[in-house]
Structure 1
Amino acid sequence: MTLTTPIDTMLMGTVITCDAERRVITDGAVAIAGGSILAVGKREELHLAYTAQRTIGGPRCTVMPGMIDCHSHLSQALVRSLIAHELPMIQRLYLPAEDAMSLDDVATSVRLCVSQLLRSGVTCVAETTATQSHEETILATLGEIGMRAIVARGSSDQSCHHESIYGQVSGTSSATLRSGEAERDLSHTAAFLDRYDPSGGSLIKGGVLASHLTGSSPHYVRLAAQLADERGASFQVHVARDREEIEFCLAVLGARPLQVLADLGVLGPRFLAIHGILLTDVEARLLAESGGGLAHAPLECLNILNGVPPVARWRRAGVNVGLGCDNALNDGFEVMRATMIQQGALRAIPGYDPEHLPAEDILDMATSDAARAISWDHAIGSLEVGKQADAVVIDRDSPHLMSQQHPVVDLVRYGTRNEVRWVLVRGRVLVDDRELTTIDLDAVRSRAEEIAPRVAAVVSSRRYRSLSPSVNID
């Protein structure tokens, strides 16, 4: 009699590993115990070696790593529709709406956002909290759900004035430093990193944020980068998101945003530039040479209409790109598809180049490259022995996934959240046969319906256009 090793869970199906060799294992399996991956291989071989308490999947399933949302604001799930067709909108709409939310409202927003992510196969989110008073509620709610997250905290230490185009006839943009604020805020960040180990040993790990160069002075940025370096933490900055930021940096700091950061000496392998929509190729090369990463949120490009960065070209130049939702649409599949369409329209169509951005590259940007961008690739982002068991099992019974002529192409081009059947984070099942196990969706829906009109009332008077619904005429 051959003895087998007892394990917690066996996942079965076509296994897309997203490892360095991009292995795809037909009739494969993944063995999980204690939240980690013990083995990845052919189903028959693993069945001979292991006895699982639970088996998930089957011959008409695909097993893949959990996707990673490289950038989000979890307290904005009840705000995002209010900014439609409005520019600019952060100071005018987003922040006042967030300020009007109670902490219970924030917890509801987190549950709503994470439920959307989990049901689309996203198992890790990179959160950069915009409103500091929301931090503890966001962290507590993530812990309650069991969601994996990197939370980069930080604030600002200066007030900026961006002179309008016409005002520049006589005025200039400027910044006013709040003395001592950098040291005070970064002492909070240091204490935060004491609680949430940046090495990623638990489900929530800490990171360091210098939100953007209009609010964070060069002094703050240097100190924040130094703290991140001392603690081995991810260091994140919103960079080149909009024209106002570019103009401010040129007027006040004397260079474009990424060049400013390079001159400050803060770029490096743990640096993550968020957005980078208006980076030049020269700036992208600086990022590549430093080993830093870029969090690309393709759907946010449509929200703010500032452009579509040529991330396919930058990847070939050495920039590591991870995909993010930025709460524009919390869906890993839609973000992959938006990347495919935007990059195709940007270059593949005019260049008649069908291999401009292959499906394998896009899937890497949602998994293994995203893990590297948030400095967590030693533990997540691929299905490999020794890594944490963050995995998604896809049901291929839907007509558009039945052929399986090319599993990765089928997944990236045609997969949807509707096919996500099971989702595991560190071996724990958070979506079980399409049902959330740690979020009461009916309760979230009820609370969201109560909160939404109140938040909309705060914002409606600040919009340029009415919030009145469209009139449908049959």
Structure 2
Amino acid sequence: MTAPRRIGLKASCVVGFDGSRHVLWRDGEVVIEGARILFVGRGFPGPVDQWIDYGNALLGPGFIDLDALGDLDSTVLTLDNGDERDMGRMWSAEYLATGPRESYSFDEEVFKYRYAFTQLIRNGITTAMPITSMYYREWAETFDEFAAVADVAAELGLRTYLGPCYMSGMQYLRADGTLAEHWDEPRGLAGLDAAERFFREFDGSHGGLIRGALLPDRIQTCTPALLQRTAALSCELAAPVRLHCCQGPGEVKRVKRLRGLAPLAWLEHLDLLGPRSVLPHGIYIEGDDDLARLADSGTSLIHCPVVFARDGEALDSFGRYRARGINFALGTDTWPADLLDNMRQGLNIARIKAGGNQGTSALDFYNAATLGGAKALGRDDLGRLAPGARADITVFSLAGMHLGPLFDPLKNLILAGRGDDCIASWIDGRCVMHDGQVNGVDYASLQHQAQQQFHALMRSHATRAFGQPDWRSLFQPAIPFADAWSEARPLCTLASASGQ
């Protein structure tokens, strides 16, 4: 049997791991052999088949995004555009009565993942647990869809934790503006069956690059039976469970009304708090009791600071939760797929909420994006550069003038860096991006198709809004267009994206 090739990577700065924490090597080296890291440090003594010198760059562990956008993000449509309920971002009673339908074809559903996964790799994310929106689906995600998504992830080389999202209910809007729930228990349980089938068939596939996960939609859209069966299946399969909760006052009020308990107490009652549970977003909690529930159970929180800050909401606070021993992972949850931006904004927000800079450091956020994400997944071979770890490695250029004079590469990147400062990415020992180019992806064609598909998504909003208004009336640009929208030129970017 032929021995795997040894490839050595060099950079002016290398983030190693000493067994308990990240450490910085100046003029460092990383040697990989197959899918594993063989050496981190300086002066590797053995033979190497190929050396690659990245020069003035930070070579570090790949980022782990556990609420990674797998979609064409539609939040740009909601920015400064009034109440989301008036623009088809929620099912209307009228839409529900006529029968919900898919906004995309099967191929379009799969394409959105190709587009999103490419963006993740471009931003230095090497492990992702994707999230998409259910409001424009007929119901939830399907086995066949995710079988195709697994192939896309493997083709691009992205390490993913996948499974079709499932739910047993959907909230909808009545004509009088009040909210109601539509429940379909059999459909929810069938969705869990599909998720179990996916896990059993795909967990560990493509050389271990694809792993399974149980991904119920949100705590308020799942019945007790669905969550109880999820908890039992997680135990049986040793599968991670991600469940969105504690993300809004309306959710908390609704769960208390439906279940008689606040969200985290309800999950505790269902045995859904524990080391395999990863919960976005944990913002609206019931004080110290909930912090104790999270810490004592070993549950991890996925912190997504940017998407909540856009609506004036924030965790109170990152430092306070960490001081109680709660493990944090990071997520993007929205466009752009830039975890550096989430670190920067998250750090600023945490200090504003805490009223000072003592409780949270830049390193705390970097740790959350690496070691914290790995801990949430139960993986001691991810999120670090150390002998024996998987060779998931990112290279961030330090040459950009926007970074300013360098003192500490990590601080400079968190203060001024961008996701696209990532110039190379290695996942499982395979170089999946070089010089900012993801292997095998035509960026111009990808963007053109995404723009066309996004236009179709915009049109679909009218079918969910009461009265099915002209879709163009639902979205208002920041600066009014000088001429009227038309089918020939609905958006100023559509023509340029097609190269016309």
- TM superposition score normalised by structure 2: 0.82
Q: Tell me the CA shift for residue 227 of structure 1.
A: 0.5
- Distance in 2, matches of 1:101 and 1:263, equals 38
Does residue 113 of the first structure (1) align with residue 133 of the second (2)? no
- Distance in 2, matches of 1:328 and 1:469, equals 18
Q: Tell me the CA shift for residue 245 of structure 1.
A: 1.0
Q: Does the CA contact (< 8 Å) of 1:198 and 1:233 recur in 2?
A: no
1:445 to 440, 444, 447: 447
2:105 aligned residue: 102
- Distance in 1, matches of 2:419 and 2:209, equals 23
Structural mapping, 1:48-447, within 5 Å: 48-58=45-55, 60-77=56-73, 79-85=74-80, 86-88=82-84, 92-93=88-89, 99-129=102-132, 130=134, 131-133=140-142, 134-158=145-169, 178-197=184-203, 202-281=208-287, 282-347=289-354, 350=355, 353-375=356-378, 377-401=379-403, 403-447=405-449
1:31 aligned residue: 31
- TM superposition score normalised by structure 1: 0.87
2:22 aligns to what SS in structure 1?
coil
Q: Tell me the CA shift for residue 194 of structure 1.
A: 1.0
- Distance in 1, matches of 2:205 and 2:360, equals 32
More divergent stretch after superposition (184-193 vs 456-465): 456-465
Q: Does the CA contact (< 8 Å) of 1:198 and 1:232 recur in 2?
A: no
Letter of the 2:414 partner, please give it. V
Q: Does the CA contact (< 8 Å) of 2:245 and 2:263 recur in 1?
A: yes
Letter of the 2:77 partner, please give it. L
CA deviations on 1:213-246 (whole Å, 9 max, x unpaired) are: 2211112111101111111110111101122211
CA deviations on 1:122-176 (whole Å, 9 max, x unpaired) are: 1111124544144334333222211111114341224567999997xxxxx8867
- Distance in 1, matches of 2:217 and 2:249, equals 16
- Classify 1:22/1:220 alpha carbon distance in 2 versus 1 (closer, same or farther; 3 Å): same
Does residue 10 of the first structure (1) align with residue 9 of the second (2)? yes
Letter of the 1:65 partner, please give it. P
- Distance in 2, matches of 1:161 and 1:220, equals 20
2:368 aligns to what SS in structure 1?
helix
Q: Does the CA contact (< 8 Å) of 1:295 and 1:324 recur in 2?
A: yes
More divergent stretch after superposition (212-221 vs 357-366): 212-221
2:488 aligned residue: none
- Distance in 2, matches of 1:326 and 1:98, equals 24
Letter of the 2:290 partner, please give it. E
1:40 aligned residue: 40
Q: Does the CA contact (< 8 Å) of 2:118 and 2:156 recur in 1?
A: no
- Distance in 2, matches of 1:280 and 1:340, equals 23
- Distance in 1, matches of 2:88 and 2:261, equals 27
Q: Tell me the CA shift for residue 280 of structure 1.
A: 3.2
RMSD: 3.0
2:167 aligns to what SS in structure 1?
coil
- Distance in 2, matches of 1:308 and 1:100, equals 33
- Classify 1:126/1:98 alpha carbon distance in 2 versus 1 (closer, same or farther; 3 Å): farther
- Classify 1:180/1:399 alpha carbon distance in 2 versus 1 (closer, same or farther; 3 Å): closer
Q: Does the CA contact (< 8 Å) of 1:193 and 1:206 recur in 2?
A: yes
- Distance in 1, matches of 2:102 and 2:377, equals 28
Q: Tell me the CA shift for residue 435 of structure 1.
A: 1.6
- Distance in 2, matches of 1:164 and 1:243, equals 22
More divergent stretch after superposition (145-154 vs 237-246): 145-154
Q: Tell me the CA shift for residue 452 of structure 1.
A: 2.4
Q: Tell me the CA shift for residue 272 of structure 1.
A: 0.7
Q: Does the CA contact (< 8 Å) of 1:73 and 1:327 recur in 2?
A: yes
Q: Does the CA contact (< 8 Å) of 1:288 and 1:317 recur in 2?
A: yes
Q: Does the CA contact (< 8 Å) of 1:66 and 1:381 recur in 2?
A: yes
Q: Does the CA contact (< 8 Å) of 1:152 and 1:208 recur in 2?
A: yes
Q: Does the CA contact (< 8 Å) of 2:69 and 2:130 recur in 1?
A: yes
Q: Does the CA contact (< 8 Å) of 1:212 and 1:238 recur in 2?
A: yes
- Distance in 1, matches of 2:418 and 2:101, equals 30
Letter of the 1:76 partner, please give it. L
- Classify 1:89/1:331 alpha carbon distance in 2 versus 1 (closer, same or farther; 3 Å): farther
Q: Does the CA contact (< 8 Å) of 2:304 and 2:333 recur in 1?
A: yes
Letter of the 1:67 partner, please give it. F
Letter of the 2:429 partner, please give it. G
1:458 aligned residue: 460
Q: Does the CA contact (< 8 Å) of 1:147 and 1:203 recur in 2?
A: yes
- Distance in 2, matches of 1:21 and 1:63, equals 16
Letter of the 1:82 partner, please give it. L
- Structure 1 regions of 5+ residues with no counterpart? 168-172
- The alignment of Structure 1 onto Structure 2 pairs a total of residues equal to 454
Letter of the 2:455 partner, please give it. P
1:328 aligns to what SS in structure 2?
coil
2:332 aligns to what SS in structure 1?
coil
Q: Does the CA contact (< 8 Å) of 2:281 and 2:304 recur in 1?
A: yes
- Classify 1:158/1:41 alpha carbon distance in 2 versus 1 (closer, same or farther; 3 Å): same
Q: Does the CA contact (< 8 Å) of 2:90 and 2:172 recur in 1?
A: no
- Classify 1:436/1:180 alpha carbon distance in 2 versus 1 (closer, same or farther; 3 Å): closer
